[in-house]
Copies of this chain bind each other. A is one copy, B any other.
Amino acid sequence: MDMQRSFLDRLFESGLLIDTGVEGLYGRSGAFEDVIAAFERLIDRYGKADGAEAIRFPPGMNRAFFEASGYMKSFPQLAGTVHSFCGCELDHMSLLKCMEEGGDWTGEQKATNIVLTPAACYPLYPTIAKRGRLGDQGGLYDLQSYCFRHEPSNDPARQQLFRMREYVRMGTAADVTDFRQTWMDRGVKMMAEVGLDVEIDVANDPFFGRAGKMLANNQRDQNLKFELLIPITSTANPTACMSFNYHQDAFGTKWGLALADGAVAHTACVGFGLERIALALFHHHGLDVNEWPAKVREALWG
């Protein structure tokens, strides 16, 4: 924890991240954003020839789709629902009085139809299902959005609002496991280009509660999730900077994703934690990008 706090303090002092008074919620400097943009161009370079369809969803999604996704079963503690004031002028006067007196005014807020996006690909599945059957080649999509996870922490690599870049593949089991393997290989190559040592390991999601332990074990046993790990503030607990997830036909069944021949689609997604990758670069090469190794600068800014 000390290493995390001290890295966070150095990021604040250098101005790369900006303290907002809430753990895990930070402003970013122009220099920080330049690194994110450069790394996204590197991702583009690796992914371009595949011809993915680019879609950008905003940082919130339809609550009905979120509810259907089952997220509240697995990760209730991480989700963020968006609530608004829906009262009349009299209610407004009560609300202001409550605020003035330092009371909790938020209890009267009502849930809207919007939930913060927990992972960039969540809005994709119902969107694609609505289009009807996939084409002969299945589908390949390129996504990026801010995502929300309610997990306040002083580890700069664990933010409440952060950006995730994703590729999602829909097709046969072979299509999507090939896709996942291709990106595991590319992930290792990309990180080598920018001078980061990585390892890839089997992993599990942080499912909630005791019942969640079983889900986690199951996910591990079946090799459904891999992570690309880079040491940031700890070599003993390196940080997951990419994840590679095979959903089998779970999402295909849930959302009704069908291949051209009518069979249920299998799906897989590959996610880049953009803030984590930027932080790994700053931690490894120093806080001043001008002093990064020439080879790394070349890979990022060409």
Which residues of A come within 8 Å of B, CB atoms? 18-22, 25-30, 32-33, 53-65, 67, 72-73, 76-87, 89, 92, 95-96, 99, 104-107, 109-114, 116, 123, 126-127, 130, 142, 146, 148, 150, 152, 159-162, 208-211
Which residue of chain B is the closest to A96 with respect to CB atoms? B73
Chain B residues with CB under 8 A of A116: 82
A78, A114, A209: most-surrounded residue (chain B CB, <10 A): A114
Cα-based distance from A208 to B161 in the complex (angstroms): 29
Q: Are B62 and A22 in contact (CB under 8 A)?
A: yes
Least Cβ–Cβ distance between A49 and chain B, in angstroms:
16
Cα-based distance from A158 to B288 in the complex (angstroms): 41
Q: Name the one of B18, B64, B99 contacting A21, with C-beta atoms under 8 angstroms.
A: B64
Other contacts beyond A19-B130, A33-B56: 11, CB < 8 A: A20-B57, A20-B61, A21-B65, A22-B62, A30-B142, A60-B161, A80-B112, A82-B82, A92-B208, A106-B111, A146-B146
Which residue of chain B is the closest to A98 with respect to CB atoms? B72
26 A–B contacts, CB within 8 A, in A order = A18-B127, A19-B130, A20-B57, A20-B65, A21-B126, A22-B114, A25-B60, A25-B62, A25-B114, A27-B56, A27-B127, A29-B55, A58-B146, A58-B162, A59-B59, A60-B160, A72-B95, A76-B85, A79-B85, A80-B84, A82-B82, A89-B210, A106-B111, A107-B111, A112-B160, A114-B160
Chain B residues with CB under 8 A of A89: 208-211
Q: Name the one of B30, B60, B114, B126 contacting A53, with C-beta atoms under 8 angstroms.
A: B30
Cα-based distance from A83 to B61 in the complex (angstroms): 15
Cα-based distance from A224 to B152 in the complex (angstroms): 39
Least Cβ–Cβ distance between A263 and chain B, in angstroms:
25
Which residue of chain B is the closest to A113 with respect to CB atoms? B22
Chain B residues with CB under 8 A of A58: 25-27, 146, 159, 161-162
Q: Are A106 and B81 in contact (CB under 8 A)?
A: yes
